[in-house]
Amino acid sequence: MYYFKFIWGVLMAGKDRIKIAIAGVGNCASSLLQGIEYYRKNEDADAIGLMHRDLGGYFPYDIEVAAAFDIDRRKIGKDVSEAIFSLPNCTTVFCPDVPRTGIEVSMGRVLDGCSEHLFNYPEECRFLPVEGEGATKEEVVSVLQNSGAEILVNYMPVGSEEAALFYAECALEAGCAFINNMPVFIASNPEWAKRFEEKKLPIIGDDIKSQLGATIVHRTLADLFKKRGVKLERTYQLNTGGNTDFLNMLNRNRLASKKISKTEAVQSVLAERLENGNIHVGPSDYVSWQKDNKVCFLRIEGKLFGDVPMNLELRLSVEDSPNSAGVVIDAIRCCKLALDRGKGGILYQPSAYFMKHPPKQYPDDEAYLMIEEFIAGNQ
Ligand SMILES: NC(=O)c1ccc[n+]([C@@H]2O[C@H](COP(=O)([O-])OP(=O)(O)OC[C@H]3O[C@@H](n4cnc5c(N)ncnc54)[C@H](O)[C@@H]3O)[C@@H](O)[C@H]2O)c1
């Protein structure tokens, strides 16, 4: 074992660190950074909670934060290791001792990041944005360039179209790859995808799937219906939670792309697409005491052999943000592999496996095989 580790250490000695920048130091970023430290500390433990411990030679703890942006007064100027535990973040603390990074959270650009309705809620459960417009594009690009970040990870709130596109633009100018974890369509918009292709910068998107969340469970059950010859006639997926993501999504005007992303993720695996009136998928309510716990209520109605009706009900309870970090930790390393291989533009396989609204949808078992081929360098 020792010999193996020694040889491995020599082989990996030349491997780069993976320097990322984060836009939006909220709950998902908190879980991601806690996870990087957690797996550093538990290097020899069984890889609980990881889809890949070693992904193409990269481990979770090879990821390092080089820059971070936010607009919340309680986060800007703090070391990232401290900002991830600042209000209104409320996710589970599974790794409290995240060492100082020496990287302070920089001012981002406000744009449409903070919905008006949030101001009706107490400060401890909503954003507390800076006065004014925040940083300029030149300032953000300059921070990115000086930091040496090679991948910008976008965690803007749902509905922040202008802010998401702003950070995508900054990534292009600064020469960073881009991972779009939220449902503004960038990787799945051919014009944006082309711009990343032209600059030879990889892009993965859009809207991160959770490791074991409502989307993947719903898709898997829908696929099961298809494979067992059961006609799926109607379905809903109702979700409640008490974090800022759910609070933000109370503003229905910000929800259009999230609804498309979540609904399309299910429609795309059905034997036959359902009429709009027969499918309802979306965030449903904000329950403040739930904090980062998300509860999904799922119902599927169908017809079995002989046209005989059946239905299925499922309740799924998960901590929302670690659930997304378990996937982002792989998306980042796939992005780094693409950078190492000089590959730019849309990364189809990682987008299909990791994202709810990729440029091209594949069934999950197919996407699983594709991602392994991608990691092995065969695609
Ligand atoms: N399982 C999951 O948690 C999951 C799954 C899929 C997608 N997502 C998406 O990921 C995104 C992030 O989720 P989260 O739970 O971390 O949200 P969050 O509300 O905890 O964090 C968002 C952060 O962005 C900051 N922000 C707002 N506007 C900004 C701007 N213009 N510039 C810089 N920072 C800004 C906020 O201050 C906050 O710190 C959301 O869009 C969410 O829907 C999450």
**Residue 172 alpha carbon to ligand 1 centre in Å:** 21
**Residue 66 alpha carbon to ligand 1 centre in Å:** 19
13 pLDDT more than 60: no
Q: Answer yes or no: do 195 and 219 share one domain.
A: no
Find the CATH number of the domain harbouring 149: 3.40.50.720
Cα 226 off chain centre by: 28
Compute the distance between CA of residue 368 and CA of residue 354 in angstroms, rounded to an integer.
10
Question: 120-126, long-range: CB within 8 Å, 24+ apart, which pairs?
Answer: 121/247, 123/87, 123/88, 124/87, 124/88, 125/88, 125/90, 125/242, 125/244, 125/247, 125/288, 126/88, 126/244, 126/247
Is 83 within 8 Å of 107 (Cβ atoms)?
no
Contacts of 155 (CB under 8 A, 6+ apart): 22, 23, 24, 25, 26, 28, 29, 181, 182
Question: H/E/C letters for each residue in 202-261?
Answer: EEECCCECCCCCHHHHHHHHHHHHHHCCCEEEEEEEEEEECCHHHHHCCCHHHCHHHHHH
Q: Answer yes or no: do 193 and 329 share one domain.
A: yes
End residue of a domain, out of 320, 349, 366: 320
Q: Is 235 left (phi over 0), alpha (psi -120 to 50) or beta?
A: beta
**Residue 95 alpha carbon to ligand 1 centre in Å:** 20
Q: What is the mean pLDDT of the chain?
A: 95
Is 286 within 8 Å of 280 (Cβ atoms)?
no
Residues in the chain: 379
What domain range includes position 293? 214-320
Compute the distance between CA of residue 138 and CA of residue 245 in angstroms, rounded to an integer.
28
**Residue 344 alpha carbon to ligand 1 centre in Å:** 26
Atom of ligand 1 nearest to the CA of 89: 20
Nearest CA to ligand 1 atom 40: 157
State the DSSP H helix or E strand holding residue 353, giving kind and residue range, or none if neither.
Answer: helix 348-354
Q: Answer yes or no: do 236 and 340 share one domain.
A: no
78 pLDDT more than 50: yes
State pLDDT tens for residues 45-67: 676 899 999 999 999 999 999 99
Cα 77 off chain centre by: 24
- The residue to mutate among 115, 156, 286, having the most atoms of ligand 1 within 8 angstroms of its beta carbon, is 156
Q: Answer yes or no: do 184 and 263 share one domain.
A: no
Number of structural domains the chain divides into: 2
State pLDDT tens for residues 128-170: 999 999 999 999 999 999 999 999 999 999 999 999 999 999 9
Band (15; pLDDT cuts 50, 70, 90)? low
**Complete DSSP assignment for 101-122:** -S-BEEE-B-TTSS-GGGGGS-
Q: What is Dmax (Cα atoms) for the chain? A: 66
Atom of ligand 1 nearest to the CA of 29: 16
Is 108 within 8 Å of 71 (Cβ atoms)?
yes
Atom of ligand 1 nearest to the CA of 213: 1
Nearest CA to ligand 1 atom 28: 113
Atom of ligand 1 nearest to the CA of 249: 43
**Complete DSSP assignment for 7-52:** HHHHHHTTPPPEEEEEE--SHHHHHHHHHHHHHHHTTTS--TT-S-
pTM (global) more than 0.85: yes
**Residue 24 alpha carbon to ligand 1 centre in Å:** 6
Find the CATH number of the domain harbouring 223: 3.30.360.10
**Residues lining ligand 1, Cβ inside 6 A:** 23-29, 69-72, 108-111, 113-114, 127, 155-158, 160, 163, 181-182, 207-208, 210, 243-245, 320-321, 323-324
Q: Answer yes or no: do 312 and 345 share one domain.
A: no
Specify the pLDDT at position 43: 82
Q: Answer yes or no: do 138 and 230 share one domain.
A: no
End residue of a domain, out of 280, 296, 320: 320
- The residue to mutate among 27, 28, 215, having the most atoms of ligand 1 within 8 angstroms of its beta carbon, is 28
**Residue 177 alpha carbon to ligand 1 centre in Å:** 19
Compute the distance between CA of residue 115 and CA of residue 30 in angstroms, rounded to an integer.
22
Q: Answer yes or no: do 286 and 368 share one domain.
A: no
Q: Answer yes or no: do 64 and 187 share one domain.
A: yes
Residue 144 in 3-state DSSP?
A: helix
Q: Answer yes or no: do 171 and 288 share one domain.
A: no
Is 286 within 8 Å of 241 (Cβ atoms)?
yes
Q: Answer yes or no: do 345 and 234 share one domain.
A: no
State the first-to-last Cα distance of the chain, in angstroms, to the nearest integer. Answer: 32
Band (7; pLDDT cuts 50, 70, 90)? very low
Atom of ligand 1 nearest to the CA of 167: 32
Contacts of 306 (CB under 8 A, 6+ apart): none
**Residue 377 alpha carbon to ligand 1 centre in Å:** 32
**Residue 29 alpha carbon to ligand 1 centre in Å:** 8
Q: Answer yes or no: do 232 and 351 share one domain.
A: no
- The residue to mutate among 126, 245, 290, having the most atoms of ligand 1 within 8 angstroms of its beta carbon, is 245
Nearest CA to ligand 1 atom 4: 324
Cα 199 off chain centre by: 23
Nearest CA to ligand 1 atom 18: 26
Q: How far is CA 300 from CA 211, 224, 296, in A?
A: 21, 12, 13
303 pLDDT more than 70: yes
Nearest CA to ligand 1 atom 27: 113
End residue of a domain, out of 304, 320, 336: 320
Strand 177-180 vs strand 345-346: parallel, antiparallel, or unpaired?
Answer: unpaired
Backbone angles phi, psi at 337, to 5 degrees: -60, -40
Give the rounded percent of residues in the chain with a pLDDT score beyond 90: 93
State pLDDT tens for residues 260-277: 999 999 999 999 999 999
**Residue 371 alpha carbon to ligand 1 centre in Å:** 26
Q: Answer yes or no: do 144 and 154 share one domain.
A: yes
